[in-house]
Amino acid sequence: MTRFAYFEGAIVPIEQARVSITCNTLHYGTGCFGGLRAYWNTDERRLWLFRPLDHYRRLLSSAKMIFADIGHTPESLTDVTVQLLAAEGFRQNAYVRPIVYKDDGVFRVQLHDATDKVAIFAQPVGAYIHAAGLLRVAISSWRRVDDTMIPARGKLNGAYLNSALAKSEANKAGYDEALVLNQDGHVSEASAANVFIVRNGALVTPPVTANVLEGITRRTVIHLATKELGLEVVERDIDRSELFVADEVFLCGTGVQISAIGEVEGRVVADGAEGPVCAALRERYGRIVTGRDPAYLHWCVPIPAA
């Protein structure tokens, strides 16, 4: 349960964190947001916040794209989040949602000269995609927003209608997730996760110029694959049909974490089981995010007990 929010410069009871029905961002999607995870380490009985500085750097980059100035730094937003999580006192994994919004009325479809605000709240979470076993994904009939329309590299509220259309279409057709193609027909990403495939021993993912969110988990996976697993990582366009013949396909993101895909539109991926690269990355990731790997404690911020 969520008890508090950072709202208008203070940590307040969640009931007090309210915006008006006239809020500009509610009408036009003129905001940006983030999504972080804090992990409960059951041995230490301690909560660890994963890569907050990187998440808040991206939030501020997204804010810049929409002319939003919230008077914060990645460090100050991290401090606020630590205070918020300490106040909540969660004893389980939690998801943290910062949102930057324009607290102006509706009679201006513009981004500049606005009243920019930031709010943050957190809530306990379990698994994000409630799928038994490996994910079954569809290829969406929707195309990814292009950088000439809405920048996908930022986490911009309005662009999530594109994600939601793809996700609902996939779910209603009985799939767990959607993979979305770019205008040119190459693979971009899932509705809220980046995608990797393994082909001929190399890890392949679309480049950041392929209308993908510049994912923090994506960056983590690339780092771990090269530095820890000694794999070659190639950032290049991925054809739709490569998904059918890949040795492994998996998603990564703060929500989905690292999750293997077992089927792409009726084609079983390899032998249908989680592949060794995905398994090795998932296992490393799990240790790192819970503060269990001393080499990566610089990515993790401990939350003091309430």
Our CB check for ligand PLP shows the closer of 108 and 282 to be 282
Contact mark string toward ligand PLP, 264..303, x via CB under 6 A = ----------------------------------------
> What gap in Å lies between CA 81 and CA 67, rounded to an integer?
23
Q: Which stretch binds ligand PLP (CB under 6 A): 11-19, 197-205, 249-257, 277-285?
A: 249-257
Does 120 bind ligand PLP (CB under 6 A)? Our answer is: no
- Using CB under 6 A, pick the residue from 38, 120, 213, 277 that binds ligand PLP: 213
Burial zone of 25 (CB within 10 Å; 0-12 exposed, 13-18 middle, 19+ buried): buried
Structure tokens at 303: 């939350």
Does 251 bind ligand PLP (CB under 6 A)? Our answer is: no
Residue 227 falls in the annotated catalytic set: no
> Which residue in the list 117, 155, 167, 227 is annotated as catalytic?
155
Q: Considering only residues 11 through 40, tell me which ones interact with ligand PLP, judged by CB under 6 A.
A: 35
**Distance, C-alpha 269 to centroid of its chain:** 24
- Using CB under 6 A, pick the residue from 166, 178, 179, 216 that binds ligand PLP: 216
Q: Considering only residues 176 through 205, tell me which ones interact with ligand PLP, judged by CB under 6 A.
A: 189, 192-194
Q: Considering only residues 126 through 145, tell me which ones interact with ligand PLP, judged by CB under 6 A.
A: none
CB of 232 to ligand PLP, least distance (A): 21
CB of 281 to ligand PLP, least distance (A): 13
Does 162 bind ligand PLP (CB under 6 A)? Our answer is: no
Alpha-carbon radius of gyration of the chain: 19
CB of 37 to ligand PLP, least distance (A): 8
Our CB check for ligand PLP shows the closer of 24 and 254 to be 254
CB of 156 to ligand PLP, least distance (A): 10
Our CB check for ligand PLP shows the closer of 25 and 162 to be 162
CB of 16 to ligand PLP, least distance (A): 27
Q: Considering only residues 43 through 102, tell me which ones interact with ligand PLP, judged by CB under 6 A.
A: none
Does 215 bind ligand PLP (CB under 6 A)? Our answer is: yes
Three-state secondary structure readout of the chain: CCCEEEECCEEEEHHHCCCCCCCHHHHHCCCEECCEEEEEECCCCEEEEECHHHHHHHHHHHHHHCCCCCCCCHHHHHHHHHHHHHHHCCCCCEEEEEEEEECCCCCCCCCCCCCEEEEEEEEECCCCCCCCCCEEEEEEEEECCCCCCCCCCCCEHHHHHHHHHHHHHHHHCCCCEEEEECCCCCEEEECCCEEEEEECCEEEECCCCCCCCCCHHHHHHHHHHHHHCCCCEEECCCCHHHHHHCCEEEEEECCCEEEEEEEECCEECCCCCCCHHHHHHHHHHHHHHCCCCHHHHHHEEEECCC
226, 202 Cβ separation under 8 angstroms: no
- Using CB under 6 A, pick the residue from 140, 163, 259, 290 that binds ligand PLP: 163
Q: Which residues bind ligand PLP (CB under 6 A)?
A: 35, 163, 189, 192-194, 213, 215-218, 253-255
Catalytic residues: 155
